[in-house]
Structure 1
Amino acid sequence: MKIGLIGEGAIGRYVTEKLTEIGLAPQAVLTRPARVQGAQDSAVLRVDSAADLPSDITLVVDCAGHAALIEHGAAILERGIDLVTVSIGALADQQLEQRLNDAAQSGGAQLILATGAIGALDCLHAARVGGLTQVTYTGRKPPTGWRGSPAEDRIDLDGLTDAAIHFEGTAREAATEYPKNANVAAAVALAGVGFDNTTAQLIADPTVTSNIHEIHASGAFGSFHFRIEGTALPDNPRSSALAAMSVVSAVERRRAAITT
């Protein structure tokens, strides 16, 4: 397995470190043109186009934001290269979702969504077979976790003394308005009743120190409530440590003889 990487931020650095530990260090990095020009002496090949990725790359891991998936996703899949991405919220754009689907079919490749920041998605997948009636996602983070998002314009993040809801709507709206914060809402939607039928609520809470994700679901199977409290990566309060871990796990499963 030869791996290419998109993104050298907090998640990208974590993934690179862990993949290197298991003998799967990225062979190439797809990055911005300026970084390609400034990294001529780097031990890792840097390119600014999917067309320039080496021919022996078999899997690309996208650890960047939505813009990277939009720019490079289809071209990678059309080349027949499988793609693991953390940018799940970008699929709220129906045209992008269709373009990526068409590209994957054309290239005989697969787009793998790294959904490890939230659990119970296998349960949602199964429940969807029998019929889901309602799915609600609630995301709760400390105020610092909402920096750089529309929450800054909707509530006083610095002056909060109690939990405050700053978004209520559909998962599609959440993923569109909060591209750096609502990938989990998108993952829940894709596993369950879809972007437009999944209700999302986003909360800034000064009394918590972790990122808390909750799913409430009901249907023919019965009902369940799932809650996970995850820590953020040390150098980026908006990035889930478990999301980064899930990328590495997704890569490991690609080469496992037996997998879940």
Structure 2
Amino acid sequence: MTSFLINMIWLCISFVLSITSVISDQYIETSHIKVFPAVNQSIAGVFQVSDLNDLNQPQYGFNASEARRLCSSLGVNIASKAQVQEALTRGLETCRFGWIDEHLAVVPRIKALSNCGKNRTGLVKWRTSVTQKFDVFCFNESDAATQLRDATTDSPLNSSDYSQQTQSPSKAATSTRTTQSTTSSSTPNDTDNEAVPARFVSSVQSFTGAKAILITSIFALLLTAIIILAYIKLSRALGSNIKQQQEYIQTEEWTCETNIKETKQAAQEDETIEVVDDAS
């Protein structure tokens, strides 16, 4: 019974540790990241996430699987090639490679620069090992839907956009790209400086941490309950065994006393018989 209890305890502990490891794998530290463009200013729902080093400077910090999990931790999906391409046509330009859904590292470029995107324009792709570390492009579907709805709504806020849309396609595209180019960087350092801390990440991180703590606490309580129940059953079993042993000992003592009494009576009877024989 004791070995069974020990095995059950180890089984529960292993189960809790496995659950905790799964939660840890799904949880990525998100308190030291930066996003570009600024928070809540994604382009076509796409934004780029960079890791920060100890000096609070962007660095390539995510392999392909970590990049995907990071977007999930932020409550969004990793962007696809088509989604980043759409953001590029709407003015997204960066100077850092980032992972996308197709296990490619890409950098959207509007202007050709020698130190950005291999001096090429368009969606510059880099097919490399999935263990290579880059930034990641995430896609917020709700942001994309909101921007699309706002773009199709005739309101004072969109009057400038509407006036641009009335221009010829080539002029409108040129104007849009010029505007985005002035807000984004022409050099890697300027781009990095424009990336601002992801303030919304703290709430996501708190929610993820609270969820992990809640799940771990539940399994810890279940483990405690199982241990208590097993202890109670073991105590009852031990108590029953002790009681049986006590009854067995009492039975043996009674049997022993009975045998002794019978032996004494037999001895007395033998002495009586000898006395009678002598007297005769």
- TM-score range relative to shorter protein: under 0.3
**Greater CA radius of gyration, 1 or 2?**
2
Larger RCO, structures 1/2 (Cα 8 Å, 6+ apart): 2
TM-score, normalised relative to structure 2: 0.24
Higher strand share: 1
TM-score, normalised relative to structure 1: 0.26
Higher helix share: 2
